[in-house]
């Protein structure tokens, strides 16, 4: 099956700093999503981004499908950004099965 690797595994930032999280995947995909899991365990969908670039406030994401990677950018980080960020991919746009990476754990210190 498809392999998903996320880097770095852990990231510690001071409030206000910027960061880039990376997701590499081993095969062509038609569905890619980024999620944030907060310290209480709730998974929040950030972006559906199988290709191209999207922005939502301080967050933006870029997927280069031909090179099999996606990047999540967090600017001017806040303590509420802390948690685990997951990338999830699927072969089919209508597939129920998504493969998740092991996540990047972000800690933002005040």
Query: Is residue 48 a contact point for other proteins (CB under 8 A)?
Result: yes
Rounded alpha-carbon distances, angstroms, from residue 47 to 57, 80, 105, 110: 12, 18, 18, 26
- Among 55, 62, 77, 71, residue whose Cα is nearest residue 7: 71
- Minimum distance from residue 87 beta carbon to other proteins (Å): 8
Among 25, 70, 74, 101, binds other proteins (CB under 8 A): 101
Number of residues that bind other proteins (CB under 8 A): 25
The residues of the shown chain that bind other proteins, judged by CB under 8 A, are 4, 31, 33, 35, 40-45, 48, 86, 88, 92-103
């Amino acid at each position: 099956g498809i392999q998903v690797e996320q880097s770095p595994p852990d990231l510690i930032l001071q409030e206000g700093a910027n960061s880039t999280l990376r997701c590499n995947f081993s095969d062509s995909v038609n569905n890619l999503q980024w999620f944030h899991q907060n310290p209480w365990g709730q998974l929040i969908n950030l972006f559906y981004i199988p290709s191209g670039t999207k922005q939502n406030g301080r967050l933006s994401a870029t997927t280069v499908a031909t090179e099999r990677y996606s990047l999540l950018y967090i600017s001017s980080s806040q303590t509420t950004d802390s948690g685990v960020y997951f990338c999830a991919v699927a072969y089919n746009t209508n597939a129920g099965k998504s493969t998740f990476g092991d996540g990047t754990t972000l800690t933002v210190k005040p």
